[in-house]
């Protein structure tokens, strides 16, 4: 059964809105959705009227109404940054089952503009309120002890990793340094150069460690950006994909898993459900981590990327950071990781999983330029890619194995 699902569908297009990062004029999440959808339908030639499945983080019905379509399949899975990897998994299953033929996965999030507009922001068209708009039960239990916001949670993961494996914050700083190297090859990256941002351009380990502390031992450069971004992906059946003008990227494997909601319920701060989700994806694809030629890994923080690499089987436990420190993940390395500059230096609107999908598609379809100017600087020769998203506080994960045509 799994072998039948593997390769039953392909990503045939992936695009983002023209203006990302820090737009001069504040934008709504809906604007970001629509700009990206227009871009991907223009790219593929698939008319909006042909879309029969819509996948978003909670706004599929509203978006469908705005697009003037009546989809047969509606998915509103919203579990944080990995939601879009789960959407791909669900779209693959729906297409394999014959329910739909063309799936749209869309995301618009105005992490930066929302602050300017003093509105909810979030991944939808309105702010997200959790349990009735108030504080969740788990937050009520932890906020009294100072655990408030993502940095304070992820700092626990780093300090525990340091304790368990003898690593240091400087080890994880290499993740930020190498990821910035990729950003300097991508003119679309917020931190591409001094021209794109006053703190852009190459950085060193000392730069990372001397940046202002956000939540010890995490400094600012250990943390992702907060920006605007809109992205959209189109997935079709094999039959439709083979007739497209764009190059298909086949969905060979997919898996999802979760371990907890409240980080204090984690059995181990240095291990995530990415192990389980990746095992499912590898099994469906009939491949293993040793065969992966590239990786797109959620990097909300440097520690997120390093621990996830371990969970994906790309590095031994306690040694994920070495992929970056030893140059394997860098431009020219044996396992390119986050080739667009990642959430640390390219763009991170709040839920980064969409950006992972877009860059993986671009790399495997041979179109990994900056999205506008046709610059080939970050294109790799990889023919497959493991893509992993993380949601919540190292809570939920989705893993894909994608293969070039």
* Distance of alpha carbon 345 from alpha carbon 180, whole angstroms: 6
| Residue 275, pLDDT above cutoff 50 | yes
Least confident among 115-119, 212-216, 360-364: 115-119
Asked, for residue 190, whether it belongs to a domain, the answer is no
Under 8 Å CB-to-CB from 156, ≥6 apart: which residues? 147, 263, 269
- Give pLDDT, residue 134: 57
Asked, for residue 203, whether it belongs to a domain, the answer is no
Asked, for residue 284, whether it belongs to a domain, the answer is yes
Asked, for residue 246, whether it belongs to a domain, the answer is yes
pLDDT digits (tens, 9 = 90+) for 310-329: 999 999 999 999 999 999 99
* Distance of alpha carbon 12 from alpha carbon 352, whole angstroms: 20
Helix (H) or strand (E) holding 354: helix 353-364
Under 8 Å CB-to-CB from 24, ≥6 apart: which residues? none
* Distance of alpha carbon 391 from alpha carbon 156, whole angstroms: 17
The CATH code of the domain that includes 34 is 3.40.47.10
* Distance of alpha carbon 342 from alpha carbon 348, whole angstroms: 8
- Give pLDDT, residue 147: 74
* Distance of alpha carbon 340 from alpha carbon 182, whole angstroms: 6
The DSSP letter of residue 331 is: T
Q: Name the residue with tokens 């909670």.
A: 58
Range of the domain at 8: 2-124+224-404
- Give pLDDT, residue 278: 98
Rg (CA), the chain: 19
Pairing, β 53-55 against β 73-75: parallel
- Give pLDDT, residue 118: 61
Asked, for residue 205, whether it belongs to a domain, the answer is no
* Distance of alpha carbon 335 from alpha carbon 28, whole angstroms: 36
Q: What pTM, to 2 d.p., does this model score?
A: 0.93
| Residue 148, pLDDT above cutoff 80 | no
φ and ψ of 386, to 5 deg: -95, 130
Asked, for residue 219, whether it belongs to a domain, the answer is no
Measuring CA to CA, which residue among 351, 399, 350, 379 is closest to residue 81? Answer: 351
Asked, for residue 213, whether it belongs to a domain, the answer is no
Asked whether the beta carbons of 173 and 208 are under 8 A apart, the reply is yes
Least confident among 32-41, 56-65, 117-126, 332-341: 117-126
The DSSP letter of residue 285 is: H
Measuring CA to CA, which residue among 63, 48, 73 is closest to residue 126? Answer: 63
The DSSP letter of residue 53 is: E
Exposed, middle or buried: residue 99 (CB in 10 Å: 0-12, 13-18, 19+)?
Answer: middle
Rounded to an integer, the average pLDDT of 367-386 is 79
Token pair in block for residue 10: 């392909």
Token pair in block for residue 381: 């020769």
| Residue 3, pLDDT above cutoff 80 | no
* Distance of alpha carbon 386 from alpha carbon 292, whole angstroms: 6
pLDDT digits (tens, 9 = 90+) for 337-348: 999 999 999 999
* Distance of alpha carbon 279 from alpha carbon 393, whole angstroms: 21
- Give pLDDT, residue 120: 46
Rounded to an integer, the average pLDDT of 110-133 is 56
Q: Which residue has the higher pLDDT, 138 or 237?
A: 237
| Residue 127, pLDDT above cutoff 50 | no
Rounded to an integer, the average pLDDT of 86-97 is 98
Asked, for residue 400, whether it belongs to a domain, the answer is yes
What size, in residues, is the chain? 405
- Give pLDDT, residue 111: 86
Q: Which residue has the higher pLDDT, 114 or 292?
A: 292
Q: Name the residue with tokens 């809570």.
A: 395
Domain count, the chain: 1
Exposed, middle or buried: residue 42 (CB in 10 Å: 0-12, 13-18, 19+)?
Answer: exposed
- Give pLDDT, residue 143: 76
- Residues 364, 51, 343, 85: what is their CA dihedral angle, to the nearest 10 degrees? -80
């Amino acid at each position: 059964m799994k072998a039948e699902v593997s390769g039953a569908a392909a990503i045939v297009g992936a695009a983002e809105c023209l203006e990302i990062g820090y737009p001069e004029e504040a934008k709504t999440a809906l604007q970001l959705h629509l700009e990206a959808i227009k871009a991907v339908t223009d790219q593929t030639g698939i008319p909006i009227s042909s879309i029969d499945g819509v996948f978003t983080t909670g706004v599929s019905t509203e978006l469908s109404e705005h697009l003037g379509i009546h989809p047969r399949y509606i998915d509103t899975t919203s579990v944080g940054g990995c939601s879009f990897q789960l959407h791909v998994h669900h779209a693959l299953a729906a297409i394999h089952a014959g329910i739909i033929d063309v799936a749209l996965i869309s995301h618009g999030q105005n992490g930066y503009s929302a602050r300017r507009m003093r509105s909810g922001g979030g991944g939808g068209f309105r702010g997200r309120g959790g349990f009735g708009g108030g504080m969740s039960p788990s937050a009520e239990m932890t906020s009294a002890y100072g655990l408030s916001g993502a940095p304070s949670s992820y700092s626990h993961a780093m300090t525990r990793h340091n304790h368990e494996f003898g690593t240091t914050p400087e080890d994880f700083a290499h993740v930020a340094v190498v990821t910035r190297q990729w950003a300097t090859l991508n003119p679309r990256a917020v931190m591409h150069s001094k021209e794109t941002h006053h703190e852009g351009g190459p950085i060193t380990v000392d730069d990372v460690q001397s940046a202002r502390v956000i939540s010890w031992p995490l400094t600012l450069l250990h943390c992702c950006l907060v920006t605007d971004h809109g992205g959209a992906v189109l997935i079709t059946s094999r039959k439709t994909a083979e007739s497209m003008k764009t190059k298909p990227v086949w969905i060979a494997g997919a898996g999802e898993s979760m371990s907890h909601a409240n980080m204090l319920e984690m059995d181990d701060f240095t291990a995530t459900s990415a192990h389980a989700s990746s095992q499912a994806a590898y099994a469906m694809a009939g491949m293993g981590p040793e065969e992966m030629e590239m990786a797109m890994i959620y990097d909300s923080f440097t520690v997120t990327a390093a621990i996830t690499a371990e969970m994906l089987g790309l590095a031994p436990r306690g040694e994920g950071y070495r992929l970056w420190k030893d140059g394997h993940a860098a431009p020219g390395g044996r396992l390119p990781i986050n080739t667009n500059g990642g959430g640390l230096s390219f763009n991170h609107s709040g839920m980064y999983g969409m950006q992972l999908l877009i860059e993986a598609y671009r790399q495997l379809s041979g179109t990994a330029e900056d999205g506008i100017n046709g610059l080939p600087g970050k294109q790799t020769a990889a023919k497959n890619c493991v893509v992993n998203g993380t949601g919540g506080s190292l809570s939920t994960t989705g893993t894909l194995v994608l293969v070039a045509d």
